[in-house]
Amino acid sequence: MTSTQEDRNVQNATPEWTNEPDIENQAAVEVKEKNDGPQTANEKNDLASVDNINELYSIFTLWEKRFIAIVVSIVSLFSPFSSNIYFPAMNTLAQSLHVSHEKINLSVTVYMIFQGVAPAFISNIAETSGRRPAYVVCFIIFLGANIGLAVQSSYPALMVLRCVQSSGSSGTVALANAVIADIVTSAERGSFFAWSMLGAILGPSLSPIIGGLLSEYLGWKSIFWFLVIFTAVVLVPFLLFFPETSRPIVGNGSIPPPKWNRSLANVISERRLAKAGKPVDKSATHKSTRLEFPNPIKTLKIAIEPEGALILFFGGIVYAGYYAVAASIPSLFGQTYGYNDIEIGLMYLPISAGMLIAAFTTGKLVDANYRRYAKKHGFPLDKTKQHDLTDYPLERARLDICLPLTYLGALAMIAYGWLVEYGYRIGVAGPVVILVVLGYGVVGSFNTTSILIIDINRDRPAMATAANNLIRCLMGAGATAFIGPMLNAMGRGWGYTFIAFLWFLFSPMLLAVIKWGPGWRKKRALKAAEKKRLTVEKQRKSELAEYALSADRKTSEAAVPDEKKPSEATVNSDVSHEIADHDPEAAVKGPNDAKNTRPGAEGKGDYISPSAS
């Protein structure tokens, strides 16, 4: 296929990896479902019954999607594990390194700063080179940092290596959300998002218990040796079985990735396609996967767009409140109830239980609300295709669930503050129960905004999640640094009441997103379409100018005297090579047969690879 034909097809066709059908295709889907009844996801992913596998958003079956979601969830354990496993040992670390509790809290602050900044670099690698290479970079950095932390014994080394450790672990959360966006549509993103967040939720509940046990019986250094072993155990099966899912590289999974980036799962998928009578096209080209220098500016652009800024800022405020609670648990329960490291670790179970319940219940609610608005506005509910949502009230469908959960969490925050204020009188049962409700409200609210920011940035999910991490962690770092002095100055009751007040105060941001968000989305879509049109037009003009220059060169050669003309064999060879640049099939016929070939004269039935788009 010539470059000119590719441009024409790019201009007239939707990129193959988006699978966003035009209005006619949507109407066909609606008519088919109306006549034949809705099909299940399993039925539609029966490859043998699908005429064109490119019609599917993903060729992975339901159970393969769940397997991928569970794998990324396990890997995303690294970030909360390395952060929260540290909390129960903070008192022990302060004594061992002969520093104050404020300095140990500072190590948490710098960890969270790098937790926010590092994904901006990792996400750029994931978007340009693939998900698997980005994961490998995270593994290597995280493994090296844990080994260093396990052998050091000084406060400066602890600070530096905690920053490196954070840089390696934090990218796994952004990558998990990007992988989910690769394999599922907006119609089922809520449920699968819950699976991908399982590790990020279980981490805060399990890691403090493990950290407390290790610190109490084996010393604080054993915490980091545990992380070294855990990383090695996860790394080997990940490299063997986790497939590349990046849509610009493998499309819906039917395009083979480069050999160096393949896993056994890719081989299994190719065999399954062949068995279904749809063998993989080995000649299909994929996007270049060469490593590029990370560019975090692309991530920052998402954070400064009007809709993205409002969503991310509000989500950051909510999560900053969670960090203010989590970081203060060791000192509050240690001082009030005299708990040791193990008992302090157990106090993270209630809030994590609420977070776990929220992940699965709110995911179902988000998907159900999506279906409700789809039926109300006449949008198709085909989970195997990602439909154009330009005119769909996406913001309202998501934020209808977010706002009530935010207010629930704010009320629980107020109750928690006053209960720990008078904890020595009423016992520990009250704070424990309220922590469950608080965890439910915080994660329910934050997960919903996280789903929405990916929905409005489907073409760059890793960067969208990295922007989310950046705002969340920077604000969380500030909350961690100021919660101690604030509680000392205002008291526990008024301190946490102030945080809840901020949630109420800034909640109208989400109402602004509901009202003006759809218009902002349309403007971005029109701007992107115009940019693409200008790029295609520029490429076409450049190639036509090159073709005209080539024709002038032939005319000049024809005017050369006979004695100075090259031999006929040389001319035929040059013309053949030149024709091959525009039409490889014509080159096979020979220069004389192809002399009338011109750009754009080819048929429309040629295969269009993702790279052409």
Give 157-183 pLDDT, tens digit per residue: 989 999 999 888 888 887 888 888 888
Q: Kindly list the domain boundaries of the chain, sorted by start residue.
A: 54-284+298-528, 567-613
Burial of 429 (0-12, 13-18, 19+ CB in 10 A): exposed
For tokens 């080819």, name the residue: 602
- Mean pLDDT within 313-339: 85
| Cα-Cα end-to-end distance for the chain | 13
- Rounded Cα distance between 602 and 240, Å, is 42
Given pLDDT bands bounded at 50, 70 and 90, which one contains residue 21?
very low
**Helix 348-377 to helix 198-217 angle, to the nearest 10 degrees?**
180
Given pLDDT bands bounded at 50, 70 and 90, which one contains residue 291?
low
Task: Give the pTM.
Answer: 0.66
Those residues whose C-beta lies under 8 Å from the C-beta of residue 585, and which sit 6 or more positions away, are none
Given pLDDT bands bounded at 50, 70 and 90, which one contains residue 487?
confident
- Mean pLDDT within 573-602: 42
Instruction: Give the mean pLDDT of the chain.
Output: 76
- Rounded Cα distance between 445 and 186, Å, is 18
CB 485 within 8 A of CB 102: no
Stronger pLDDT, 60 or 145, i.e. the higher one: 145
Amino acid at 441: G
In this predicted structure, the answer to whether residue 310 has a pLDDT above a threshold of 90 is: yes
DSSP 45: T
Given pLDDT bands bounded at 50, 70 and 90, which one contains residue 51?
low
Given pLDDT bands bounded at 50, 70 and 90, which one contains residue 591?
very low
Nearest to 435 by CA among 418, 419, 414, 412: 412
- Rounded Cα distance between 351 and 270, Å, is 43
CATH annotation of 54-284+298-528: 1.20.1250.20
DSSP 270: H
In this predicted structure, the answer to whether residue 499 has a pLDDT above a threshold of 80 is: yes
- Rounded Cα distance between 245 and 257, Å, is 9
CB 487 within 8 A of CB 328: yes
Rg of the chain (C-alpha set): 28
According to the model, what pLDDT value does residue 510 have?
92
Q: What angle do CA 73, 274, 128 make, to 5 degrees?
A: 45
- Mean pLDDT within 381-389: 69
According to the model, what pLDDT value does residue 55 have?
66
pLDDT in tens, 111-120: 878 887 888 8
pLDDT in tens, 565-576: 455 444 444 444
Stronger pLDDT, 488 or 612, i.e. the higher one: 488
Burial of 65 (0-12, 13-18, 19+ CB in 10 A): buried
Stronger pLDDT, 562 or 213, i.e. the higher one: 213
According to the model, what pLDDT value does residue 278 have?
61
What DSSP string describes 83-94? Answer: HHTTGGGHHHHH
pLDDT in tens, 336-376: 788 877 788 788 888 888 988 888 788 888 888 888 888 88
Nearest to 409 by CA among 461, 449, 368: 449
- Rounded Cα distance between 433 and 593, Å, is 83
Stronger pLDDT, 414 or 533, i.e. the higher one: 414
- Rounded Cα distance between 430 and 416, Å, is 8
- Rounded Cα distance between 448 and 425, Å, is 37
CB 296 within 8 A of CB 120: yes
CB 196 within 8 A of CB 360: no
Burial of 31 (0-12, 13-18, 19+ CB in 10 A): exposed
- Rounded Cα distance between 87 and 223, Å, is 11
Given pLDDT bands bounded at 50, 70 and 90, which one contains residue 561?
low
According to the model, what pLDDT value does residue 497 have?
93
DSSP 53: G
pLDDT in tens, 513-522: 999 988 888 8
In this predicted structure, the answer to whether residue 301 has a pLDDT above a threshold of 80 is: yes
